[in-house]
Amino acid sequence: MAAENLTQQEKTQRGAQDSGQYFRYMMDFVHFTEDDARAVRESALVIEKHLPSIVADFYTHLLRYPPTREHFLLKDGTVDQEYLQKRMLHLTNFWRRTAGGIYDDDYARYVDYVGRAHTSHGADPNIYIAERYVIGQVGFIQHAISNALHADLHEYNPDLESRASRAWNLLLMVILEMLARAYYDEHEAVPPGRLLEINRETMVDLAVETYERGLGLSRPPVLKEVFAAGVGEIADGERKIIQVDNLSIGVFHHNGKWFAVRNHCLHRGGPVATGTLEGDVLTCPWHGFQYNLTNGRLLVDPATKLETYQVFEREDGIYVRIPEPEPAFEMGEVFVSEPEPAAGQPPAPAAGRNSLQPNQFFTAEIAPGKTGLVSVNHQPVAVYNVDGTFYATSELCTHVGGPLDEGKLSGRVIVCPWHGSCFDVATGEVMCGPATQPVQTYPVVVDGAIGTVG
C-alpha cells in the first residue's frame, strides 16, 4: 500500500512488525553480544549521572541550526519551552531505557517508530528531519557517552571503560541503522540559514529541571478543586472538556469510573481529549498518537504520559483536583548572539532580528518550499517561498482555523495540517475541501534581504 493511502494510525505502526527481528540481525552483524549488553547495564549509572548535561548539550546544538531549530519555535519565533521540555523528556527516557540493556521487540519497535517519526512515513507528515541531521545526532550522543565514560571510569575502572565504550559504540551503530532505514530514498538539499550562539547555561537549567521532573523529584504541587460538571451531566461513555486557568482538561466517565487528562497531546499539542476512545485507548485526532486513558501513558513509550488529574464526586457535582499555577521557568536569553551569515547569504541588518517590523521577515530564513509567519495588523499571516517568489495568506484555514504555516507546501498549493484543505497561495483559491471559502491573500515586497507583507 502506498504511503499516501495509509491512515495516520497505520503510518504510526507501519514497519514495526519486523523491527525486533531486524534489530537482532543488526546486533549479530556488528557482533553485539550479551557481554556487551551487560557492560551497558554496568555503565548505566555513569550515563544517568551525565544525562542532564548530555541532553542540554544536545538541544543547545539543535537550536543553533535553522533547519533543526525551526521545529522548536512558536509562531512568534521564540523557543517553545513546553515543547522543548517534552522532547527533552522523551530523549532522557529513551537513553535511560537504552542504558537498561534490555533490547526486546518493544524496544526495537520504539526505535523503529522514532526513526519513521523523522520522515514522511511517520505519524505527522508535516515533520521532516533530513537524514544528515539524524546521523549527526547519533554521532553527537556517541561522542558524549564516550566522554562520560572516560571522565568517570578512566582512572578508577579502566576495564569497564573499555568494555562499555565498545558496547555503546556497537549499540549506537545498530540504533543508527534502525533510524536511517526509515528514510528509504528520501533526500533533501541543505537549506540556507545563519547559525546562532545558544546560552548553554539556560539549556542546562532547563534540562536539569526536566530530568528531575522525570524522576519525580520536583516538589509536590499545591492542589485546588474545581467544579467540572453537574451530577448526571456526563453519562457513562461520555466526556466533557473544561477550561481552568490556562489548562484544557478532558473529563471522562468511562466504564463506571472517572478520569481526567490534559487536553494537550505530547506530540504537537493536539486536542487529544477530543479524539476517539476505543476500550482504554485514546487516540489524538491530529496525528494518531495513542494513550491509555486510565493512566495517561503513551502506548509507544510508556515512560512518557499525559498529565492526569484526580476526579471525585460530591452531592452537588463532579470535581477535579489540579495543581495551582507555578511561576514560569526563567528561560533567559536562549539566543546569545547572531554570528556572521554563511558565505553567499544576504546579511541581516546590523540590529539583528529586533530591527524587523512585525510584518517583515528575512528572506534567507524561509527556504524554497518552506513557510514562515508574520503579523499584519495584529493578525497572523503565513508567508510561502515558491521557487524564490514569496506569497502570503491569512495563517488560518477557512475551514476550522487550522495553522496553514504548519502545512505542507507543494508548488503554489498549501495543505492545512488539520483536515487537508488546500489553497493556492497566490490567489487564495480553494483547491480541495473540506474548506469552501478562499483564504485572504496579502502582497509581499522584497527589498534586499528583507520581505514586507501587506
Residues 209 and 236 in one domain: no
CATH of residue 77: 1.10.490.10
pLDDT at 125: 62
Helical spans, DSSP H, in 5-104: 8-13, 19-29, 34-42, 44-64, 66-69, 81-99
Residues 171 and 255 in one domain: no
Residues 422 and 377 in one domain: yes
Question: Which of 120, 127, 124, 146 has the alpha carbon at shortest distance from 47?
Answer: 146
Range from 8-22, 121-135, 178-192, 369-383 carrying the lowest mean pLDDT: 8-22
How far is it, in rounded angstroms, from Cα 7 to Cα 271?
18
Residues 21 and 149 in one domain: yes
CATH of residue 379: 2.102.10.10
Strand 257-262: give its sheet, edge to edge: 223-229, 317-323, 308-314, 257-262, 247-254, 239-244
Digit-coded pLDDT (tens) for 395-407: 888 887 778 888 8
- Asked if residue 251 belongs to a domain, the reply is yes
Does 4 score more than 60 pLDDT?
A: no
Residues 276 and 198 in one domain: no
pLDDT at 329: 53
20 falls in which pLDDT band (50, 70, 90)?
confident
Query: Are residues 20 and 109 in contact, defined by beta-carbon separation less than 8 angstroms?
Result: yes
Range from 10-14, 387-391, 450-454 carrying the lowest mean pLDDT: 10-14
- Asked if residue 333 belongs to a domain, the reply is no
Range from 57-66, 130-139, 204-213, 309-318 carrying the lowest mean pLDDT: 204-213
202 falls in which pLDDT band (50, 70, 90)?
confident
- Asked if residue 304 belongs to a domain, the reply is yes
Instruction: Find the mean pLDDT for residues 293-316.
Output: 89
Q: How many CB atoms lie within 10 A of CB 320?
A: 22
Digit-coded pLDDT (tens) for 338-376: 444 444 444 444 444 445 677 888 888 888 988 888 888
- Asked if residue 341 belongs to a domain, the reply is no
Instruction: Find the mean pLDDT for residues 10-30.
Output: 75
Nine-digit cell string for 358:
512585525
Q: Quickly tell me which residue has 504548519 as its cell.
A: 406
Residues 53 and 120 in one domain: yes
Residues 204 and 286 in one domain: no
Residue numbers of the domain that contains 282: 223-323
Question: Which of 319, 299, 308, 213 has the alpha carbon at shortest distance from 260?
Answer: 308
Residues 48 and 191 in one domain: yes
The predicted model scores a pTM of 0.56
Q: Give the residue with greater pLDDT, 434 vs 337.
A: 434
DSSP character at residue 117: H
How far is it, in rounded angstroms, from Cα 46 to Cα 114?
25
Count how many domains the chain has.
Answer: 3
- Asked if residue 331 belongs to a domain, the reply is no
Residues near 158 by beta carbon (within 8 Å), at least 6 away in sequence = none
DSSP character at residue 338: -
